[in-house]
Amino acid sequence: EQMSQLIALASADEDSAPDGDAPAPMIEGYRELVAEFGAELAAPHLAEVLVAETVGRNPDGAATLGFFAETLEPQVPRRARVAFR
């Protein structure tokens, strides 16, 4: 959840103040990190391993993983977007 929030902040066009007294998250370099991560997931085997490790035999986390993938998708190269879906 925290990673998806950082990615959403990095891709937002508008600057917004953080809620409450929480310090602003450091988002420098996350866009590049997400792009590299997404590029590696272009390999179907690695995408399967990620799903297996994050969801495993318990499908309860599938919705969260799907939301995470939707958040990352605009940041990754086109060839990796199929693996995100």
The confidence band for 13, taking pLDDT boundaries of 50, 70 and 90, is very low
The candidate with the shortest Cα–Cα distance to 5, out of 61, 85, 68, is: 68
Residue ranges per structural domain of the chain: 1-11+38-85
- pLDDT tens string 14-70: 455 455 555 555 566 777 787 787 778 778 888 788 778 777 777 777 777 778 778
The Cα 77–Cα 74 span in angstroms is 8
- The predicted model scores a pTM of 0.43
Q: Given phi > 0 = left and psi -120 to 50 = alpha, else beta, which region is 83?
A: alpha
